[in-house]
Structure 1
Amino acid sequence: MEKISRYLVTAALPYANGPVHIGHLAGCYLPADIYVRYLRARKADVKFVSGTDEHGVPINIKAMQENVSPQDIVDKYHRIIGDSFAAMDISFDIFARTSSPVHHKTAADFFKNMYDKGLFEEKETEQFYDPEKQTFLADRYIVGTCPICGNERAYGDQCERCGTSLSPEELINPRSSLSDAVPVKKKTKHWYMPLQHYEPWLKEWLIEGHKEWKPNVYGQCKSWLDNGLHSRAMTRDSNWGIKVPLPDAAGKVLYVWFDAPIGYISATKELTEQWADYWCKEDTKLVHFIGKDNIVFHCIIFPSMLHGHGGFVVPENVPANEFLNIEGQKVSTSRNWAVWVHEYVEDFPGQQDVLRYVLAANAPETKDNDFTWKEFQDRNNSELVSIFGNFVNRTMVLMHKLCGGKVPPFHADVRDDRDDLMRVMLQESKARIETALETFHFRDALAEVMNVAREGNKYLQEKEPWIKAKTPELQAENQALIDNCLHICLQLTANLAIFINPFLPTTARKILHMLKLVDRVLDWENAGSTKLVSVGYSLRAPELLFAKVEDAQIAQQIEKLHTRAAASMAGVVSDAASTVPTTPAHEPLKPEIQYDDFAKLDLRIGTITHAEKVPKADKLLKLTIDLGFETRTVVSGIAEHFTPESIVGTQVTVVANLAPRKMRGIESQGMILMAAHDGKLVFMNGADTVAPGSSIS
């Protein structure tokens, strides 16, 4: 592209079936925000769009888990996700939704355009069908026993215990997760996109035309093309999604990976009436920020869709990141092994820049990287506090102490080579930061910003203005040298605000506040200047930019991570991603017991097969519970929280060796475990369904 008149930057649409964790931030949202903030500082014409992906099987599954409608799920998580991004200063121009009317029309029209051009193949195939619910089943709706590890709750596309990719045919004893019925094969018609027809164009555009792309992206795309592409279905049988706009397509919706990337287009339509300028004019630079699991969709399928439709620009770059692990383990929402963004902003209020810094400094740009809470603490204390914050604070304190709180003049008659080197250093650093940002090397750019702060500390230490002002007589004699040192340090501080702004915007504005500078100083054209703060201007009192993170805070986070994961694995609590955290009022601990006391409990998983109210007892329900090896009657005081019909089929944790006890004339053969949450009772069952009778250990 010879000329760039405008930029369109997209960040992957997160599924609206759970909150976002720090792996999501590090993967695409923070890098995208850094890039966009830099472009805005360059005064570029740029639009930054994203939104929630609100269709597809994961939404339906979450709705079933929470016993609500898919619309309830996407409404809930669109808000949670949007709030999390806002709290982390991710500066979208619009955060849209694929359930919006604009998107439905845009996606349907896009499909119809391709259909009218004859770009789809109609195929009739056999797919799994639930005979009880009378609906076709996506692979995720089929569960069974994994042939590799024996997990009885493996999905038809993957076993989440061992990670093996599966097909429904490979499952042992497959059944529908909707009804528990055995699925059968039934013929259905769908529309396929013959990706193999786009191979010549893809090879010319991508393989020959974009060798500058990141090796992980380029290599994955080349591998796909070398192995040959195949036709891929662009429609699905479902009642949730964008209806296929054809007369003979009842009960069919657009495949979520056809629908979702069109969300970038519909979001831009909602944002501006000039949306076509950003999608259809050749002097637009389109950049997709994604994680590595989305490479094929953004680099092969979506560009092929855009090319087939015609009239749209295709991406100039797709700087996908690798994955971020947590404390040496892969992020797992099912095991609750994650650091959730909405929890971080509650635990570390006002410290969004610390997390932004740590994730940017340790970004998984070329390989999977590991986040640890110890590194979080070390980077904050040793880098943000001791290097960056220390330089700014020392400069401001010394300026107030030795220069009367005003910007001192620079005396050319006493300047030295060290002063001149600082000016040269600023220009060279600006160039290196620019190059790194424009080539998506954000770790290198941030490291160079920190080097500027290091150079400032080194310069200040070498000049020692406090020594030159040890006595009033010395200060009077050396005031010109003191002025020069602090003048340069103040100009350097203003430059640090410009350099750090794409990464830590809140920190940049704190510096501006102390220096009494307006926001436009953050324009990139001002970077490298040594005339940003005016001589003789009174500045505000110094404020600490960062606070130390204490050992106790880190220990608490590590304990939370391990405790929740252990609880999830034991089937004691459900996936924390499905709830918004609250601050519970905790009951005091009961007297301490020994392990042998706990070991006496026999905890088993059971399934409620029947429930009815106990006559003349407002609080009691009589439950029939299948323990696998026998059926038990349990009387439970949960009638004020649940109706009998709403809990049939629910799995519960049963104290199976509790001595029988008569309640209202009914012998209760055990007790189910419940938790109190926001004044309501919650079943203590696992996120995954397990065989009745399974023991908990």
Structure 2
Amino acid sequence: MTPKRYLITAALPYANGLKHIGHLAGAYLPADIYVRYLRAQGRDVVFVCGSDEHGTAIPIQAMKEGTTSQAIIDKYHGIIKENFDDLSISFDIYDRTSNPIHHETAQEFFTYLNDRDDLEIKESEQYYDEEAQTFLADRYIKGTCPNCGFENAYGDQCERCGTSLSPDELINPVSTLSGKPPVKKATRHWYLPLNKHEDWLRNWILNQHQNDWKANVLGQCKSWIDAGLQPRAVTRDLDWGVKVPLPDAEGKVLYVWFDAPIGYISATKQWALNTGNDWKPYWLDKETKLVHFIGKDNIVFHCIIFPVMLKLHEYILPDNVPANEFMNLEGDKMSTSRNWKLEMQDYIDDFIKKENGGPQMADALRYYLTTILPETKDSEFTWKGFQDAVNGELVAVFANFFNRTFVLMHKLTYGKVPKFHNDIADAKDKELISEIQNSKVRIERLLEEYKFRDALFEVIDLARKGNKYMQEKEPWIKAKQIYGEGAIIEEAQVQIDNCLHLCLQLCANLAIFINPFLPNTAKKMCHLMKVVDKMLAWENAGTLKLLSVGYSLRPPQLLFRKIEDAEVQYQVDKLRTMSNQQEANKNETSSDQSQIANLKSEIVYDDFDKLDLRIGTILSAEKVQKADKLLKLEVDLGFEKRTIVSGIAQHFSPEELLNKQVIVVANLAPRKMRGIESQGMILTAEEPNGKLILVNPNNVAQNGSNVK
């Protein structure tokens, strides 16, 4: 049954920096394709998004840029919104969570759940900076990663090995505000008890949606549920965000994961105010189809946490969450910290806003990204791939067919749509007619199933079939026969008419089919065919009467230009130069800090004397399963043998460590790493380039000897 209305959301991007094409391919382009298709169907659809402007990412960026949080969100909200406009992402509203209507909506949502006892209050100990006099969010805590030994891991994730962490897992944590070790201090927060909703979630996700949700989405949800859900804090101690609307919650705000998805609701409310519509049916009427477009890192929030919130508030639930995987760049993961990225702004500056650019170059990017969308697994953007897709498919197949048709029409039928003579239609004519009609069915089915790559392939393949048909009919050869006599002239002309009539009708159909993917191209095609955009309605697809016989069309124009080798080489060189410069800056900073900033606080001998450093010999070494950075070592300390887990696997092979003497911190408290109890730490030194070397005695020493 066709839904009465559609509400489509795309993940709210953080307004803390520029966004790259991986973000575009992950959520916004797929959502836009689907929305444009629904609009062409004439369906009631609202497409909402907006900037996520709360959370610690904002004040952290403000500190980096030496400004205020408000200035950061104002700056990046404007840039991101303009980027989406330049790339033809057609939101009905692009809102922001700093707007008063969002604060009111989020506070109302919290109050609704709290008043009905759907939230729990718990007291726990969290890290507190005594000098800054504030509780510390995870990103305000740094320490040594227990997984790989990286000394600047954040409290929520290690940026070197990518492991998700909690502040309690960090070794030697310090506050990024004061540089001092934080203390534990009791604090009270409100929690969403996800554990109470496990059975419902299991049935709703794994039973009701097992046949229509993507396998990657179902797999991640199953993993979370099978591991056992835990209560999740919905408030935190912070001065930036939506204030908790309770008199006894001074200094507390709503956790960003809680307030951000509510941004979809507040954006819908703002859209309704802007347009004079009612927002409630889009969130309360079960005949509304809600679809969330996100990247895979947002699956847990949109498939487990937010649905529980919606259910408790008696809102509708998402019908589907077609999450995409990640997109890599030139053989490596995109990384802002390593400057290995292609930002939307960079592409816009280098291609859309330059000479020979314009909206068609926005479509060129949309085309290539759609062909490599990471729908089921990670994909990769390469500049050579971009060039091949544009030159070899858009230009050589799609645009070539359209241009050839218009050139021949102006040359052989006086620039007008010729008549189709049914009485002489042959097998090739009928085959092309069938392909046009059947393509609509195939493309429509694929779009409804969120298989945008396959749907676009069908569109290009139809143009390819048009080229094949024209090549087989050879109207330019038939034109030479017109200079013959009588019946020969008439027969040649009607064959030319039939060929070009069908090719022109196919051009009109291609404009309809390509419109969800390449809207600027479809608009240009309509201009050349001298038809209004209304022709792009989906109900017109698959028909053969889109262009009237005798109607004059405009002279041909190229739909796309080729991408030159020099442009590709420039982009590859630019990417590598930027990344190398970033690495050089890091090394320079690291070198400077090793001399000055990274010196630890002064100690006295008694502090050093607390360490029990012993000589040991490595008897065995093996890699820890599912941990690329860790080695499990057996070390002979003379008086006993110890198991030590060390994050040095990327610097040493197990074989080269055998029988090596090392210095061991023997009185370090045991710590479990990947389920293995580590009973000490071996000493290493890190060189400026990041390479580790073992710290060992110059001469062979007896195992267990004290190091002083």
Please indicate, yes or no, whether the TM-score normalized by the shorter chain is above 0.5. Answer: yes
d(CA) in 1 for partners of 2:540 and 2:364?
A: 25
User: Paired residue for 1:225?
Assistant: 225
Kept after mapping to 2: 8 A contact 1:605/1:693: no
Q: Is the 8 A contact 2:405 2:500 kept in 1?
A: yes
Aligned-residue offset at 1:606: 3.7
* Corresponding position of 2:63: 64
Distance in 2 of aligned mates of 1:39 and 1:270: 22
Whether 1:500 and 2:514 are equivalent positions in the alignment is yes
Deviates more, 1:315-324 or 1:155-164: 155-164
In 2 relative to 1, CA 175–421 (structure 1 residues): closer, same or farther, beyond 3 Å? Answer: same
> Structure 2 residue aligned with 1:300, among 285, 291, 304?
304
Q: What does 1:252-263 align with in structure 2 at a 5 Å threshold?
A: 252-263=252-263
Q: Name the counterpart of 2:181.
A: 182
Superposition map of 1:558-597 within 5 A:
558-571=572-585
Q: Percent identity?
A: 61
Alpha-carbon distance change, 242 to 370 in structure 1, aligned in 2, over 3 angstroms? same
Q: Per the alignment, do residues 142 and 628 of structure 1 end up closer, same or farther by CA in structure 2, a change over 3 Å counting?
A: closer
Following the alignment from structure 2 to structure 1, what is the Cα–Cα distance between the partners of residues 76 and 597?
A: 35
After TM superposition, give the deviation of residue 164 of structure 1 in Å: 2.4
Match of 1:92, SS?
coil
Check conservation: 1:17, 1:74, Cα contact below 8 A.
yes
Alpha-carbon distance change, 239 to 436 in structure 1, aligned in 2, over 3 angstroms: same
Q: Which amino acid aligns with 1:416?
A: D
Match of 2:345 among 342, 345, 348: 342
Indicate which of 355, 360, 376 corresponds to 2:386: 376
Q: Distance in 2 between matches of 1:288 and 1:695?
A: 43
Q: In the alignment, which residue of structure 1 is the partner of 2:699?
A: none
Alpha-carbon distance between aligned partners in 2 of 1:165 and 1:628, rounded to the nearest angstrom: 25
2:415 matches 1:405: yes
- Aligned AA (2:316): V
What amino acid sits opposite 2:396 in the alignment?
S
Aligned to 2:547: 533
Change (3 A) 1:603 1:74: closer
Structure 2 residue runs of 5 or longer lacking an equivalent are: 353-357, 601-684, 692-708
One of 316, 329, 334 as aligned partner of 1:313: 316
CA–CA distance in 2 between the matches of 1:128 and 1:627? 23
- Report how far residue 14 of structure 1 moved: 0.4
Answer whether contact 2:482 2:493 (CA < 8 A) is retained: no
- Secondary structure class of the residue paired with 1:348: helix
Alignment of 1:279-290 (within 5 A): 279-290=283-294
Q: Name the residue aligned to 1:36.
A: 35
Offset of 1:218 from its aligned partner?
1.2
**Are 1:407 and 1:487, in contact at CA under 8 Å, matched by a contact in 2?**
yes
Aligned partners of 2:156 and 2:164 also within 8 Å: yes
In structure 2, C-alpha distance between the alignment counterparts of 1:696 and 1:150, rounded to whole Å = 12
Shift, 1:562, TM fit: 1.0
The CA distance in 1 between the partners of 2:102 and 2:589, in whole Å, is 49
SS of aligned partner of 1:406: coil
How far residue 220 of structure 1 moved from its aligned partner, in angstroms, is 1.2
Amino acid at match of 1:297: F
Residues 249, 519 of structure 1: alpha-carbon distance in 2 compared, 3 angstrom cutoff: same
The secondary structure found in structure 2 opposite 1:173 is strand
> Which of these residues, 449, 457, 460, is aligned with residue 447 of structure 1?
457
Verify the 8 A CA contact 2:515 2:522 in the aligned structure 1: yes
CA distance in 2, matches of 1:172, 1:200: 37
- Aligned partner of 2:628 in structure 1 is none
Q: In the superposition, relative to structure 1, how do residues 407 and 183 fare at CA in structure 2: closer, same or farther (>3 Å)?
A: same
**Any gaps of 5 or more consecutive residues in structure 1?**
574-601, 609-624, 631-690
1:304–1:246 CA distance, 2 compared to 1 (3 A): same
Residue identity matched to 1:31: P
Give distance in 2, aligned partners of 1:165 and 1:393.
53
2:447 maps to amino acid: L
> Secondary structure at 1:17's aligned position in 2?
coil
Residue 320 to residue 695, structure 1, CA distance change in 2 (3 Å): closer
Letter of the structure 2 residue corresponding to residue 287 of structure 1:
V
1:50-90 deviations in whole A, cap 9, x for unaligned?
00100001111111111111111111110111011111000
Using the TM superposition, give the Cα deviation of residue 411 of structure 1 relative to its aligned residue in structure 2, in angstroms.
1.5
Counterpart-to-counterpart distance in 1, 2:597 and 2:96: 43
Aligned partners of 1:224, 1:180: CA distance in 2, in Å?
35
Q: Secondary structure of 1:470's match?
A: helix
Take 1:547 and 1:32, find their aligned partners in 2: how far apart are those partners? 27
Three-state SS of the structure 1 residue aligned to 2:585 is coil
Residue of structure 2 equivalent to 1:142: 141
Give SS of 2:70's match. helix
Q: Partner amino acid for 2:527?
A: H
- State the secondary structure of the residue aligned to 2:480: coil
User: Partner residue of 1:617?
Assistant: none
Structure 1 residue 358 corresponds to structure 2 residue 362: no
Alpha-carbon spacing, 1:237–1:629, altered in 2? closer, same or farther (3 Å): closer
204-213 or 108-117: bigger deviation: 204-213
When residues 556 and 316 of structure 1 are mapped into structure 2, their CA distance, relative to the original with a 3 A threshold, is same
Matched AA of 1:116: D
1:660 counterpart residue number:
none
SS in 1 for 2:73: helix
Contact 1:381–1:548 (8 Å) recurs in 2: yes
Secondary structure of the 1:534 match is coil
In structure 2, the residue matched to 1:271 is 271
Q: Give, in whole Å, the separation in 2 of the partners of 1:556 and 1:118.
A: 59
Residue 299 of structure 1 aligns to which amino acid in structure 2? C
> Is 1:458 matched up with 2:468?
yes
Write the distance in 2 (CA, Å) between the matches of 1:385 and 1:143. 51
After the TM superposition, which residues 410-559 of structure 1 pair with which residues of structure 2 at under 5 Å, given as runs? 410-470=420-480, 472-474=482-484, 476-477=489-490, 478-559=492-573
Measured after TM superposition, the shift of residue 512 of structure 1 is 0.5
Between 239-248 and 145-154, the greater mean CA deviation after superposition: 145-154
CA RMSD of aligned residues (A): 2.1
What's the counterpart of residue 677 of structure 1?
A: none
Residue 153 (structure 1) shift: 2.0
The 8 Å contact of residues 605 and 696 in structure 1, kept in 2 or not, is answered as: no
Deviations 1:209-236 (A, max 9, x none): 1111111111211222222211110101
- 2: CA distance, partners of 1:692 / 1:529: 69
Write out per-residue CA displacement over residues 246-267 of structure 1, whole angstroms, 9 at most, x where no aligned residue. Answer: 1110000001010000000000
Aligned partner of 1:234 in structure 2 is 234
C-alpha spacing 1:692/1:218, structure 2 compared with 1 (3 Å): closer
Paired AA for residue 518 in structure 1? V
Question: How many positions carry a matched residue from both structures?
Answer: 591
Question: Aligned partners of 1:296 and 1:134: how far apart in 2?
Answer: 33
1:289-328 CA distances to partner (integer Å, 9 max, x unpaired)? 0001100100110000011122x10100000011111111
Paired with 2:184 and 2:464, the residues of 1 have a C-alpha distance of 66
Per mean C-alpha deviation after superposition, the further-off stretch among 501-510 and 61-70 is 61-70
The separation in 1 between residues aligned to 2:103 and 2:390, in whole angstroms, is: 45
| Contact 1:605–1:695 (8 Å) recurs in 2 | no
Deviation at 1:540, TM superposition (A): 0.4
Query: Which residue identity is paired with 1:44?
Result: R
Task: Return the alpha-carbon distance in structure 2 between the equivalents of residues 572 and 170 of structure 1.
Answer: 26
State the alpha-carbon separation in 2 of the partners of residues 455 and 295 from structure 1.
39
Q: Give the aligned partner of residue 327 of structure 2.
A: 324
Q: Which amino acid aligns with 1:241?
A: G
Structure 1 contact 358–376 (Cα < 8 Å) conserved: yes
* Distance apart, 1:544 and its partner CA: 0.5
One-letter amino acid matched to 1:139: D
Which digits, 9 at most, give the CA deviation of each residue in 1:360-405, with x for residues without a partner? 1111000011111111000111000000010000000000001111
Q: Which amino acid aligns with 1:367?
A: K
Aligned with 1:99: secondary structure? coil
2:330–2:380 contact (8 Å) kept in structure 1: yes
Match of 1:641 in 2: none
- Counterpart amino acid of 2:434? V
- Contact 1:385 / 1:546 at 8 angstroms: preserved in 2? yes
Match of 2:214 in 1: 214
The letter of the residue matching 2:483 is: E
Q: Tell me by how many angstroms 1:472 deviates.
A: 4.5
CA displacement, residues 497-516 of structure 1 (integer Å, 9 cap, x when unaligned): 00000000000011101100
